[in-house]
Structures are given as C-alpha cells and as structure tokens.
C-alpha cells in the first residue's frame, strides 16, 4: 500500500494545506488542472458525462443521488439551436450548516483550486457558462481564499472567455450567504441566490430544467464536485476500485463529541464506523463509554454500539436503519443525556425551519416544548405518545421539504433506542444525567 502515491489513495485531501493553500502555480505543479485540461481538450461534454456516470459518483452532501444521473437531466442544445437558453448555471453548494459537519470547510480552506477545477469540468459538461459558489456567511476565511484562487484562475485563463484557447467560457462568482440552514436545500438555495426569501420550491419543475432565474441549473456539494478532476485524470475504474464494496470513491469521514482525537479522515467509501471511531478518532475519552451515535450529521437516525461494524456507505448505513448523510459521526457518550441531546437537535431544527409548511413550522417547536418538559423532569408518559405522533405528522410526504423529516430521524430513533432514558426522566422527575445525580 505504501508504494501507491497519496494522490491515488487520498485524491480529495492529498493537497490540502490549511495553513496556506497552494496557489495556482503550486497546484498545477502537483498535477492540478490536468483533469480540466483533459476534459476541455480531449472530451466532448457527453463523454465527460458518461465517464462520471460510469464512475458511480454519488452526491456527498447527504442525499447520495448519483451525480451522473443528476447531470443527465440537464437539456443540451447545439450551438445554433434557437431554443437554447441564454444561460445555464452550475452552483456549488458550500452552505455547510449540518450540525456536526465540517468536511467541506477543509476542502474550501485547504485546496480551493481543486473546487474551481472541478467546477470548470462540471460546467463544461452541462454547458453552463455561469457558476456560483454559494458559501455560508460564517466561512469568512474560505470565502477569501476562494476569491483569491478565482482571481488567479482568471489570470491564468482557467476562467473567463476562451478558456485555455478553447471556445468554452465560464464566469465564476462567490456568493456569501447570511446564515440559514435551509439554504442548503437546493431549491431554497436557488431562491436565496435570486435574492428571495429562501423557502424551498415545489418540485417539479426540477432545477435541472428550471432552476436559477428559471434556467437549467445543477447544484452540487463541495465534496461531490471535488472528486471530478480526479475521475477525469485517473478514470472511472480507478474511482470504483477505491471503495472495497459496491460504492465508489473515497469519503471524508469526521468524528466529533467526547472522543480522544476528533477530526476528519479521507478513507475508502465503506470504512466501518468502528474504524473511524476507534482507529482514527482514538475512541472515547477516558472514563466514557459509547452510548450511541449519529452517522452523518444532525438529521440522521441514531445508531448503537451494536452497529459499529457497519460500513459507512449509503446502502449499509441505510440497512442499519439510518442514513450516511454527510459522514460526520456525532458521538454520544454515556455521561451525556440522550434526551438533552435530542432536545438540542430539535431546537436547531425548530429555529431553522423556514416556516413555509405547517407540520414543520408548528411541529418542530411543539417537539421542543415537550422535550424541554421531559428533560426538566416535568414530563408524563403521555408526552411520549405525543412525540411519536409528531414523528408521524412531520414525516416524508407530509412536509414541503426534507427538513422536518430530517428532524424526525434522530427523534424517532432516540425514542426507540433510549426509551428507558426517557421513562427515567419521567419517573424520577429529573434528568438522571444532571450533575449531582
């Protein structure tokens, strides 16, 4: 294994430098922009699309939708087609606000040129000539570094008119948001970019057909896009073989909570939870035991110590009853109260609900009210029935977007797995985890 260059085993992170990211010359000296060069000079857009489809790359933002399939829904036109829209858009979703998730920040701050290269290739593939990086307002350093890198790319003819002497042109802008979780939902993000209140849109029409300013639009996550240059350079088979199972590529896994060594690691897609938690995060801090975990951010179902050997890929985590989400493990130890944890998560969702649809706008604060009561020791057993009912009221199909169902996932699974803890709060009329108990 040691003989294989890091560029081939850790494609996304091998050039990450958080102190001072590579400038364009340094990035190019390390093989950067070779993927974009290959795409623009040797491939037709259709050929790139086929390559990405073949690579089995799936969205890394949380939903796991196949990228090639998403791109294939964008209408393509010949140059002289009078029905062709004036613009098509590519948008990078860098609105990383899923609690417990901090992977995109590393890519944005540590290797901004990789994302720009990825966006050139992706825009070329779908025929977009305008692109935006939609970055959350709190990521100031990342936005600055991206702008610096974009300026360099314009100077080096990787952006602008006639890129590298080809007929392809691309304008790339950074849009810094002002802090709202729902902007990570792609249709809400599009409304935000249009300067509207960022509530999600009804689908259809899908953004691929009618998105930003009513034009065909693709929205992809930072980590998803960052894979593209490497697939161009090294091929679809290489990408598929990176993962030991049916999934493809690598994944940036994270761990936070009271572990010894919280952080981020790029590993083959399908590393087990045990490997991430114990081999890389060093296990729990001394004196603590594992009580449960969220595998991929706040809006995923709890898993238990019995699930430690589950591979962290889309299918396996799904079969275990949760979702891979963003791949950022949030670890619950046995000295932290699971009810307080769920309360914290639901407060987040209640605050960040956009208020558009009733089940979410009224359901999430209702859950907070009930959970607060239970956590304070003032709950009743009937409250647990109320919570279960609310899980049903806010489930998929009853809400406008996936925010409320995302809130239900940790709640419902906590009610199932930590039922005894909920009951103890009610019976003892206090939080058994509070200091002094």
Partner 1 sequence: MDIIKTTTIDFSHYLTEQEISAIEHEASIMEYREAAGIEALKIIQEHRGWVSDDSLYAIADLLQMPSAQLEEVATFYNLIYRQKVGQYVIHLCDSISCHLQGYDEILAAIKAHLNIDYGQTTNDGVFTLLSNVCLGGCDKAPTMMIAKQHYQQLTPESAIDILTTLKEKAVTAKTKKTKGSNAND
Bridge partner residues of 89 (DSSP): 130, 217
Q: How far is the CB of 291 from partner 1 (least distance, A)?
A: 11
How far does Cα 334 stand from its chain's mean position? 28
Nearest to 394 by CA among 385, 406, 405, 402: 405
Residue with Cβ nearer partner 1 (40 or 107): 107
Q: How far is the CB of 139 from partner 1 (least distance, A)?
A: 7
Q: How far is the CB of 429 from partner 1 (least distance, A)?
A: 21
Question: Can you tell me the distance from the alpha carbon of 214 to that of 354, in angstroms, rounded to the nearest whole number?
Answer: 22
DSSP state at residue 284? B
Q: Which residue has the tokens 């639901």?
A: 346
In the complex, the residues that contact partner 1 under the rule CB under 8 A are 87, 96-102, 104-105, 136-141, 171, 173, 175-181, 192-198, 213, 254-258, 262-264, 294, 298, 328, 330-333, 336, 340-341, 344-345, 347-348, 351-352, 354
CB 193 within 8 A of CB 91: yes
Residue with Cβ nearer partner 1 (33 or 253): 253
Q: How far is the CB of 215 from partner 1 (least distance, A)?
A: 9
Residue with Cβ nearer partner 1 (138 or 362): 138
Q: How far is the CB of 315 from partner 1 (least distance, A)?
A: 26
Question: Can you tell me the distance from the alpha carbon of 287 to that of 348, in angstroms, rounded to the nearest whole number?
Answer: 29
Question: In the Cβ-directed half-sphere of 63, how many Cα atoms lie within 13 Å?
Answer: 15
Q: How far is the CB of 209 from partner 1 (least distance, A)?
A: 17
Residue with Cβ nearer partner 1 (96 or 247): 96
Q: How far is the CB of 359 from partner 1 (least distance, A)?
A: 20
Residue with Cβ nearer partner 1 (236 or 264): 264
**Cβ partners under 8 Å of residue 344, min gap 6:** none
Question: Can you tell me the distance from the alpha carbon of 115 to that of 92, in angstroms, rounded to the nearest whole number?
Answer: 9
Question: Can you tell me the distance from the alpha carbon of 139 to that of 3, in angstroms, rounded to the nearest whole number?
Answer: 36
Please list the alpha-helical segments (H only) found in 43-193. 45-55, 67-72, 103-110, 112-126, 140-155, 186-193
Helix axes 112-126, 34-42, angle to 10 degrees: 10
Cβ atoms within 10 Å of 315's Cβ, excluding its own = 14
Residue with Cβ nearer partner 1 (57 or 342): 342
Residue with Cβ nearer partner 1 (98 or 223): 98
């Amino acid at each position: 294994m040691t003989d294989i260059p890091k560029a081939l085993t850790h494609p996304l992170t091998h050039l990450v430098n958080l102190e001072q990211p590579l400038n364009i010359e340094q990035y190019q000296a390390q093989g950067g922009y070779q993927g974009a060069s290959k795409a623009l000079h040797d491939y037709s857009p259709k050929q790139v699309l086929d390559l990405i489809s073949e690579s089995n790359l799936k969205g890394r933002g949380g939903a796991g939708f196949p990228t090639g399939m998403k791109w294939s829904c964008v209408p393509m036109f010949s140059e002289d087609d009078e029905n062709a829209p004036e613009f098509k858009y590519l948008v990078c979703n860098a609105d990383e606000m899923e609690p417990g998730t901090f992977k995109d920040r590393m890519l944005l701050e540590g290797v901004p040129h990789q994302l720009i290269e990825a966006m050139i290739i992706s825009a070329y593939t779908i025929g977009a000539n305008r692109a935006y990086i939609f970055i959350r307002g709190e990521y100031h350093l990342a936005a600055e570094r991206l702008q610096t890198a974009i300026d360099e790319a314009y100077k080096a003819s990787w952006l602008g008119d006639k890129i590298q002497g080809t007929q392809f042109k691309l304008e790339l802008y950074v849009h810094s948001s002002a802090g709202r979780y729902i902007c990570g939902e792609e249709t809400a993000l599009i409304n935000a970019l249009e300067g509207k209140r960022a509530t999600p849109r009804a689908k259809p029409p899908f953004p691929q057909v009618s998105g930003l300013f009513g034009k065909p639009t693709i929205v992809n996550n930072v980590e998803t896009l960052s894979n593209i240059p490497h697939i161009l350079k090294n091929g679809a088979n290489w990408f598929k073989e990176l993962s030991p199972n049916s999934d493809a590529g690598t994944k940036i896994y994270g761990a936070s909570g009271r572990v010894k060594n919280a952080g981020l690691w790029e590993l083959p897609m399908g590393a087990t939870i045990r490997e991430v938690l114990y081999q890389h995060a060093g296990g729990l801090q001394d004196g603590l035991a594992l009580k449960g975990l969220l595998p991929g951010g706040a809006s995923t179902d709890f898993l238990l110590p019995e699930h430690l050997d589950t591979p962290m890929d889309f299918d396996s985590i799904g079969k275990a009853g949760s979702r891979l989400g963003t791949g950022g493990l949030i670890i619950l130890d046995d000295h932290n109260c699971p009810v307080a944890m769920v309360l914290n998560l639901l407060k987040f969702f209640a605050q960040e609900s956009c208020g558009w649809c009733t089940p979410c706008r009224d359901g999430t604060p209702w859950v907070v009210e009930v959970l607060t009561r239970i956590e304070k020791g003032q709950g009743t057993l009937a409250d647990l029935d109320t919570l279960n009912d609310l899980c049903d009221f806010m489930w998929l199909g009853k809400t406008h977007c996936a925010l409320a169902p995302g809130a239900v996932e940790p709640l419902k699974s906590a009610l199932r797995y930590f039922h005894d803890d909920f009951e103890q709060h009610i019976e003892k009329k206090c939080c058994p985890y509070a200091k002094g108990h």
